[in-house]
Amino acid sequence: MKNNLQKVADVILASKSMIAFTGAGISVESGIPPFRGPEGLWSKYDPKCLDLDYFHSNPKDSWIAIKEIFYDFFGTAKPNKAHKVLAEWEQKSLLKAVVTQNIDNLHQQAGSKTIFEFHGNSQKLICKECNRVYLPEEVNLNDLPPCCKNDGVVLKPDFVFFGEGIPEKAYNNSLLFARNADLVIIVGTTGEVMPAAMIPTEAKRNGATIIEINTEESNYTNRITDFFLQGKASEILEQLDELLSPKI
Ligand code: NAD
């Protein structure tokens, strides 16, 4: 592992257009469980609460689960070392962008600036009728479902539900940066959710090297990954940062 880490640090240092592609695993050490697996959110909640049709026909039921998961719980999470290292690498011009599947706002809180949120952001609520955007603290989440002050329409969290399209700008920018990347560092994702999962594959097709950090093998590991670093995101990124810091 030690030699491998040094090799990966050298590859990162030599890169010119590295991007990160992150998933739920990077936020596990901030206390946010992933969706899948024995401890995952879907072992406690029914995924139908995030189904667009179900939400439209049962807004109150959906909102009860949404409030618990994304506001009572996500709202208190803080960025961990993994988010912070990526933000520092961007500040030092080593990292060009973060493409994230996460909706927890933790990359922003850690200080990352160029972020493409493939699945939107839970820390905004939107009225799909008039497009007015609210912060969670601007609405009363004790009276569900929350409604727009302009037109009374039920507010929707501004992240992508099952059955909903990807935000166009995030989609196009993610693809653009992936196609121009010479190195992708994948952190904490199964690579199962499409179309997000194609981002590293698209980069690889255009010649990028792929580094992967995960506690377990993923869909990418034996297919496109060049360097697999097994372990917790915060620990591995901290170790890489220690090797890189004297040189950047
Ligand atoms: P996932 O839940 O399918 O998989 C999580 C991955 O993280 C697994 O591969 C697991 O082995 C790995 N992992 C777990 N702990 C880790 C750690 N400490 N360090 C490194 N890796 C670790 O998540 P996904 O692949 O990102 O896809 C699920 C979808 O769920 C995404 O679309 C995302 O929007 C959404 N989601 C987001 C959040 C969030 O915003 N934090 C949380 C749950 C789900």
Residue 131, burial from CB neighbour count under 10 angstroms (0-12, 13-18, 19+)? exposed
- How much is the pLDDT for 1? 55
Residue 25 or 40, more confident: 25
Exposure string for 45-70, b = 16+ CB within 10 A, e = fewer: beeebbbeebbeeebebbbebbbebb
Domain ranges within the chain, ordered by starting residue:
1-32+78-119+166-248, 33-76+120-159
* Architecture per CATH, 33-76+120-159: 2-Layer Sandwich (3.30)
Tell me whether the omega of the peptide bond preceding residue 146 falls within 30 degrees of 0, making it cis.
no
Structure tokens at 131: 């497009």
Residue 223 to residue 201: CA distance in whole angstroms? 9
Closest residue by Cα to atom 23, ligand 1, is 24
Q: Given a cut of 90, is residue 47 above it in pLDDT?
A: no
Q: What residue ranges in the chain does DSSP mark as E strands?
A: 18-22, 95-100, 115-117, 120-126, 133-134, 156-159, 183-187, 209-214, 227-230
- Please list every protein residue whose CB sits less than 6 Å from any atom of ligand 1: 23-25, 27-29, 32, 34-36, 40-41, 101-104, 119, 188-190, 192-193, 213-216, 218, 232-233
Chain CA centroid to CA 2, Å: 27
**Distance in Å, CA 15 to ligand 1 centroid:** 26
Nearest-10 crossing angle of helices 81-91, 233-244: 30
Q: 1-32+78-119+166-248 adopts what CATH topology? A: Rossmann fold (3.40.50)
pLDDT over threshold 90, residue 69: no
User: Is there a common fold for 1-32+78-119+166-248 and 33-76+120-159?
Assistant: no
The confidence score (pLDDT) of residue 203 equals 98
d(CA 129, ligand 1 centre) in Å: 31
pLDDT of residue 42: 82
pLDDT digits (tens, 9 = 90+) for 83-100: 999 999 999 999 999 999
Does the pLDDT at position 2 exceed 60?
A: no
pLDDT over threshold 70, residue 3: no
Return the percentage of the chain with pLDDT > 70, whole number.
Answer: 99
Q: Which of 111, 107, 134 is nearest to 123 (CA)?
A: 134
- Running DSSP on this structure, what letter comes out for residue 221? T
The pLDDT tens digits for 132-155 are: 999 999 999 999 999 999 999 999
- Residue 188 reports pLDDT greater than 70: yes
What's the whole-number mean pLDDT along residues 89-116?
97
Using the atom order of ligand 1, give the atom closest to the CA of residue 74.
Answer: 41
Neighbours of 89 (CB within 10 A): 23
List the structure tokens of 86: 């990526």
For position 76, what pLDDT does the model report? Answer: 82
DSSP summary character for residue 36: S
Q: Which two tokens stand for residue 153?
A: 């329409």
Tokens of 236: 């591995």
Looking at residue 199, its amino acid is: I
| Residue in 56, 83, 107, 119 annotated catalytic | 119
Q: Grade residue 57 by pLDDT with cuts at 50, 70 and 90.
A: very high
- What percent of the chain stands above pLDDT 90? 83
232 Cα nearest atom in ligand 1: 19
* Known active-site residue 119: yes
Among 102, 166, 194, which residue has the most ligand 1 atoms within 8 Å of its CB, making it the best to mutate? Answer: 102
Question: What is the pLDDT averaged over residues 62-85?
Answer: 90
Question: Which residue has a Cα nearest atom 26 of ligand 1?
Answer: 23
Q: Is pLDDT of 220 > 60? A: yes
| CA–centroid distance, residue 188 to ligand 1 (Å) | 6
| Position 43 confidence tier, pLDDT thresholds 50, 70, 90 | confident
